A and B are shown apart, each in its own frame.
Chain A
């Protein structure tokens, strides 16, 4: 009898995750509906207008979608030359050694630093650097935001890649060594190809992280509501526009911000699902 109640409670708890997810989607869709009815779904995502003046309100998400995609992809690009060596260092060259776990821990601590602290660091250290390099007048913009984002996602990309690299069976590598290959050749012909889809999924997950980052981006991207045309242009991401304007919003504007939240939710859900599918292919 007690067992039945307990088992039911376990099942009920598992169901609560279903309910939670359903509730999240229901709420987002319900609150965003006003905007989609007013502008049309495609109208909303293809317009780059953001005009909150009473009487001529006009909202579109295109500028923010573009801003999000550009900053995240740039961040991904910038993070590769650092996260990949760390993965090789910890998962291949020094696998299982003390130094690997030390380097891995330090890099992983990067994931523990709060977004807002990254924002401050970007604002007071990186931004002046970019100004003094003559890249931009104010130092705000896509480039600054992407650079900080890149640092933020390094641990996500490197730790998972390292895990997949370290799972490459030794006998495969020994086969290559026995044919006289150098370490680099073993990495490029055995380790990397074998771990490649795992590494790919690690980077897709890191991209998912970058898409949703809020505070640091909000503090560094410059917060202008137009489509960025160059690296030093200012802009806004989907997360940063919500963070910036949610507090004072109501009515159609609030609905539009939540619609952006829904889009952000969907994009990250799709990206994460792709990452999971990629991973499943190698881990049946």
Chain B
């Protein structure tokens, strides 16, 4: 790490060499300490969620719907734990994220293919710029859009509206990961396919996409993990529901929406920790799996 100063004996006036070394070391240790401090919030947050949430983190969290304010109050008065879980949030999340995946992935992969195939064209440049623009758009603004496009014309908050918002948020991530992965594949792979007389379509679907599978899969997992914790756009679109709902035209809940409800209801406030813990664990797991897939795929 530190370079040896071998020329010390020369006649040249090395002013304050000792001072420079000390400065160098102080800076290095400061960088290390501050980097260490930066890692703390993650552990603080995890610790707090674990400490306050582990008691409620049980099977009923997964098997029961969210309690009503009344149930919770009665339970509290009798001194027992708040009953219920976040099942309606889990199912709602599955419904909306599943639908968002159905919308965002085909479009995203196609756009990604287009961008990697026309890397130099001006039109692709514009599309790429707009993709970044959408990615940088605050989620609450995307919520407004889905509200104006789906909720308003259909006169109802709905899972569909929530899915559209989530799909718009996932789209740029899927596009860019598809593009980047395809660009990493050697050109000779595509040429080998075409040199066998295969059609362009077959080369893309049977050679390029399967070879890029690891990268695409990682990108999709990260896109899902990014929208899984979104609250703001769902507040304007899916609204939330107290029961399990599989109808895409009706208001639907999701774990983040439930956390928001619990937070705003003094009787339910104790539920926030276990449900946040669950949400965070789900997201961290997805992130870790994505990393695993990316690593495994890179070796091959």
- Tell me, yes or no, whether A and B come into direct contact in the complex with CB atoms closer than 8 A: yes
Interfacial residues of chain A within 65-86, with CB under 8 A of chain B in the complex: 81-83, 85-86
Contacts of B24 in A (CB 8 A): 182-185
Closest to A182 in B: B24
B148 within 8 A of A: yes
Binds B, one of A43-51, A120-128, A134-142: A120-128
Interfacial residues of chain B within 24-40, with CB under 8 A of chain A in the complex: 24, 27-28, 30-32, 34-35, 37-39
Contact indicator A151/B41 (Cβ below 8 Å): yes
A269 within 8 A of B: yes
Contact indicator A10/B49 (Cβ below 8 Å): no
B180 within 8 A of A: no
Contact indicator A17/B3 (Cβ below 8 Å): no
> Measured between C-beta atoms, what is the minimum distance from B273 to chain A in Å?
8
Contact indicator B200/A89 (Cβ below 8 Å): no
B248 within 8 A of A: no
Contact indicator B130/A21 (Cβ below 8 Å): yes
Contact indicator B42/A113 (Cβ below 8 Å): yes
A224 within 8 A of B: no
Contact of A125 (CB < 8 Å), options: B37, B48, B123: B48
Q: Mark B249-270, 1 if CB is under 8 A from A, else 0.
A: 0000000100110010000000
B132 within 8 A of A: yes
Binds B, one of A54-62, A194-202, A239-247: A239-247
Contact indicator A121/B114 (Cβ below 8 Å): no
A229 within 8 A of B: no
Contacts known (A31-B148, A121-B45, A184-B23); A268 close to B34, Cβ less than 8 A:
no
Contact indicator A177/B3 (Cβ below 8 Å): yes
A220 within 8 A of B: no
> Measured between C-beta atoms, what is the minimum distance from B53 to chain A in Å?
10
Contacts of A82 in B (CB 8 A): 34, 37-38
A18 within 8 A of B: yes
Contacts of A121 in B (CB 8 A): 44-45, 48
B209 within 8 A of A: no
> Measured between C-beta atoms, what is the minimum distance from B207 to chain A in Å?
14
Q: Mark A5-26, 1 if CB is under 8 A from B, else 0.
A: 0110111011011101101100
Once the chains are docked, how many angstroms separate the CA of A113 from the CA of B231?
12
Contacts of A109 in B (CB 8 A): 42, 284, 287
> Measured between C-beta atoms, what is the minimum distance from A119 to chain B in Å?
8
Q: Mark B277-297, 1 if CB is under 8 A from A, else 0.
A: 001100110010001000000
> Measured between C-beta atoms, what is the minimum distance from B3 to chain A in Å?
5
B129 within 8 A of A: yes
Contact of A120 (CB < 8 Å), options: B7, B111, B126, B263: B263
B79 within 8 A of A: no
Interface of B: prevailing SS: helix
A172 within 8 A of B: no
A222 within 8 A of B: no
A116 within 8 A of B: yes
B136 within 8 A of A: yes
A131 within 8 A of B: no
Contacts known (A16-B107, A265-B141, A268-B138); A182 close to B131, Cβ less than 8 A:
no
Q: Mark A167-201, 1 if CB is under 8 A from B, else 0.
A: 00000000001001111110100000000000000
Contact indicator A269/B137 (Cβ below 8 Å): yes
> Measured between C-beta atoms, what is the minimum distance from A69 to chain B in Å?
14
Once the chains are docked, how many angstroms separate the CA of A195 from the CA of B21?
24
Contacts known (A115-B229, A214-B139); A106 close to B39, Cβ less than 8 A:
yes
A282 within 8 A of B: no
A212 within 8 A of B: yes
Contact indicator B1/A120 (Cβ below 8 Å): no
Contacts of B30 in A (CB 8 A): 85
Once the chains are docked, how many angstroms separate the CA of A154 from the CA of B38?
8
Q: Mark B62-101, 1 if CB is under 8 A from A, else 0.
A: 0000000000000000000000000000000000000000
A93 within 8 A of B: yes
Contacts known (A13-B111, A27-B149, A85-B30); A180 close to B7, Cβ less than 8 A:
yes
A208 within 8 A of B: yes
Contact of A114 (CB < 8 Å), options: B20, B143, B229: B229
Contacts of A177 in B (CB 8 A): 3
The 7 closest A-B pairs by CB, nearest first: A212-B138, A114-B229, A13-B110, A85-B34, A272-B136, A214-B232, A182-B24
Q: Can you sample 26 A-B contacts with CB below 8 Å? A: A3-B200, A10-B111, A13-B110, A13-B111, A14-B124, A23-B145, A23-B149, A24-B134, A31-B144, A85-B30, A88-B35, A116-B229, A116-B259, A181-B3, A183-B2, A184-B20, A205-B136, A212-B139, A214-B140, A242-B144, A246-B144, A247-B236, A261-B141, A264-B141, A272-B136, A276-B132
Q: Residues of A at under 8 Å CB distance from B?
A: 2-3, 6-7, 9-11, 13-14, 16-18, 20-21, 23-24, 27-28, 31, 81-83, 85-86, 88-90, 93, 103, 105-107, 109-110, 112-121, 124-125, 151, 154, 158, 177, 180-185, 187, 205, 208, 211-215, 219, 239, 242-243, 246-247, 257-258, 261, 264-265, 268-269, 271-273, 276
